[in-house]
């Protein structure tokens, strides 16, 4: 790797060095073990050396970075201390970004300095040789809450030109996961019906859009009128507010009466689905990530031969359900985890074609990066959110506009 001879020591946040010129240091939000804790404690600003590149790697000038729960887990140091995994004594979080290729490794083909990109976070342990993957910005230390991030070339995807940096940075992790679940793993077919838990959340807003693109009907489950409106705007066929069915949630240690009420609410919920679909059938696919609280309902509600596709368990991973509903009606449970480069690439094409749209619900500035994570930690955000990094203001879509905005002050 060679760096330009006239490399500056560091440039202020919200400004850019010359294209392809890499400063010695960069501004970053850095997590260290001695300050593990809530995000406002764990995310601290530091000046760090800019990453050196290996042959397959690319240095990206981050314009905006998406916020997701990975950074919170990393900062908490729980349930695992992820620094032990990568072996460094610091960690820069961030598994979503939009930016500009600033430098490429010697073996990189197909990408060049100046390309405007988004990133997927599936990081291969040995590119080209291994199926083992880690999550960039969580299991690797070089994430996007810094002026520069280091990624493998296979993580790059073209940025949709009409999207702002902040919108382009917001969707990768959740959208590619939802696409993988519905399209690749559940093999969603036109004409099918899908029950989507958390339809106003990070995964859900994309699951709803994907159903529309695939010619399927989405029944969106939400807990507020605001999210119900959003789900309908995104193309849901119908919406159910789960607060109308308070006993549907599975809870530990339910009495016989509570179990009866729980089962009655699941059946009533199923009837609401029939009403919305206009026929007495359950969903062909259930989009699961809530876990313990909803899984018994998901297994019961799925149609005969239905699929329950699951990628997470927000309310607990130790699942309890009546397996008779599974075998008697020949349903399937399908696991899914993020996406690979091929799957993320196919998903991103739908964004490039304008068929799937980011749902940016809030944007934060560089200084607010710890606060944005804190709000997510306190469950005070919905949809997807991102933070400006290199972009000096919102609304900018490419390097030319960004340079002009910096020049204009
Ligand atoms: N394996 C992977 O690759 C992968 C990737 C991304 C995410 N995940 C996991 O998937 C889960 C969801 O991620 P996300 O980004 O969509 O989170 P999110 O933005 O917080 O949305 C989750 C939604 O779940 C709903 N929900 C929460 N508690 C519920 C309950 N008790 N019953 C029913 N619904 C409930 C909420 O919707 P309402 O309150 O409106 O119903 C909320 O909007 C997380 O556990 C995450 O770790 C896994």
Q: What is the CATH number of the domain that holds 251?
A: 3.40.50.720
Classify residue 46: in a domain, yes or no. Answer: yes
Q: State which of 185, 201, 294 you would mutate to test the pocket of ligand 1, scoring each by most atoms of that ligand within 8 A of its C-beta.
A: 201
Counting from 1 in the atom list of ligand 1, the atom nearest the Cα of 242 is 41
Q: Which residues pair with 47 in a beta bridge?
A: 27
pLDDT tens sequence across 215-255 = 999 999 999 999 999 999 999 999 999 999 999 999 999 99
| pLDDT given for residue 69 in this prediction | 87
For ligand 1, whether the C-beta of 316 sits within 6 Å is no
The reported pTM is 0.95
Q: Which percentage of the chain shows pLDDT scores above 70?
A: 97
Q: What is the pLDDT of residue 90?
A: 98
Name which of 315, 331, 228 is nearest 276 in CA terms: 228
Q: 104: which 2 tokens? A: 């490429």
Same domain, 177 and 134: no
Q: What is the pLDDT of residue 79?
A: 85
Look at residue 5 in the predicted model and tell me its pLDDT.
59
CB atoms within 10 A of CB 8: 13
Domain boundary among 278, 300, 335: 335
Among 314, 383, 386, residue to substitute to test ligand 1 (most atoms within 8 Å of Cβ)? 314
Which CA distances in Å does 62 have to 99, 102, 166, 167, 277?
5, 10, 10, 13, 44
Which pair of tokens denotes residue 398?
Answer: 């490419």
The pLDDT-based confidence of 2 (bands split at 50, 70, 90) is: very low
Q: Is-contact 17 26, C-beta < 8 A? A: no
pLDDT at 120: 97
Q: How many A from CA of 14 to the centre of ligand 1?
A: 33
- Average pLDDT of the segment spanning 113-140: 87
* Residue among 72, 121, 170, 202 whose CB has most ligand 1 atoms within 8 A, to mutate: 202
91 has a pLDDT exceeding 90: yes
Sequential DSSP letters for 390-404 = S-SSTT--SHHHHHH
Among residues 335, 350, 383, which one ends one of the domains?
Answer: 335
Range of the domain at 59: 25-171+359-407
Query: Is the Cβ–Cβ distance between 336 and 180 less than 8 Å?
Result: yes
Burial class (CB in 10 A: 0-12, 13-18, 19+), 337: middle
Tell whether 280 and 309 lie within a shared domain. yes
pLDDT for 238 equals 98
Domain check: are 76 and 193 in the same one? Answer: no
Confidence at 124, pLDDT banded by 50, 70, 90: confident
Task: Please give the sequence-ordered ranges of beta strands (E in DSSP) within 178-227, or none if there are none.
Answer: 193-196, 217-222
């Amino acid at each position: 790797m060679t760096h330009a001879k006239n490399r500056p020591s560091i440039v202020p946040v919200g400004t850019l060095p010359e294209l392809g010129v890499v400063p010695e240091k960069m501004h970053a939000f850095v997590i260290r073990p001695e300050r593990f804790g809530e995000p406002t404690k764990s995310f601290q600003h530091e000046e760090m050396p800019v990453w050196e590149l290996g042959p397959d790697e690319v240095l990206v000038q981050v314009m905006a970075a998406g916020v997701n729960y990975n950074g919170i887990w990393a900062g908490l140091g729980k349930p695992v201390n992820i620094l032990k995994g990568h072996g460094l004594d610091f960690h820069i979080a961030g598994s979503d970004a939009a930016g500009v290729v600033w430098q490429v490794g010697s073996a990189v083909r197909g990408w060049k300095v100046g390309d405007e990109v988004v990133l997927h976070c599936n990081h291969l342990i040995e590119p080209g040789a291994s199926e083992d993957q880690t999550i960039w910005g969580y299991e690797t230390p070089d994430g996007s809450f810094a002026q520069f991030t280091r990624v493998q070339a296979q993580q790059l995807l073209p940025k949709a030109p009409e999207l702002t940096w902040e919108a382009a940075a917001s969707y990768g992790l959740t959208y590619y996961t939802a696409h993988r679940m519905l399209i690749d793993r559940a093999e969603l077919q036109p004409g099918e019906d899908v029950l989507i838990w958390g339809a106003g959340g990070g995964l859900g807003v994309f699951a709803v859009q994907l159903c529309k693109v695939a010619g399927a009907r989405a029944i969106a489950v939400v807990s507020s009128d605001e999210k119900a409106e959003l789900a309908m705007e995104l193309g849901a066929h119908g919406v159910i507010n789960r607060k109308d069915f308070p006993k549907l949630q599975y809870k530990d240690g339910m009495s016989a009466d509570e179990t009866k009420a729980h089962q009655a609410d699941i059946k009533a919920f199923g009837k609401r689905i029939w009403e919305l679909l206009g026929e007495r059938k359950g969903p062909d696919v259930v989009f699961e990530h809530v876990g313990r609280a909803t899984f018994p309902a998901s297994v019961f509600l799925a149609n005969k031969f239905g699929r329950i596709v699951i990628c997470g368990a927000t309310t607990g991973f130790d699942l309890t359900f009546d397996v008779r509903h599974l075998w008697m009606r020949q349903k399937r449970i399908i696991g899914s985890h993020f996406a690979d480069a091929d799957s993320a690439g196919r998903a991103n094409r739908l964004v490039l074609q304008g068929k799937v749209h980011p749902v940016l619900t809030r944007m934060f500035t560089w200084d607010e990066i710890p606060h944005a994570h804190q709000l997510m930690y306190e469950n005070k955000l919905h949809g997807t959110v991102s933070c400006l990094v290199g972009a000096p203001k919102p609304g900018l879509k490419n390097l030319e506009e960004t340079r002009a905005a910096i020049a204009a002050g």
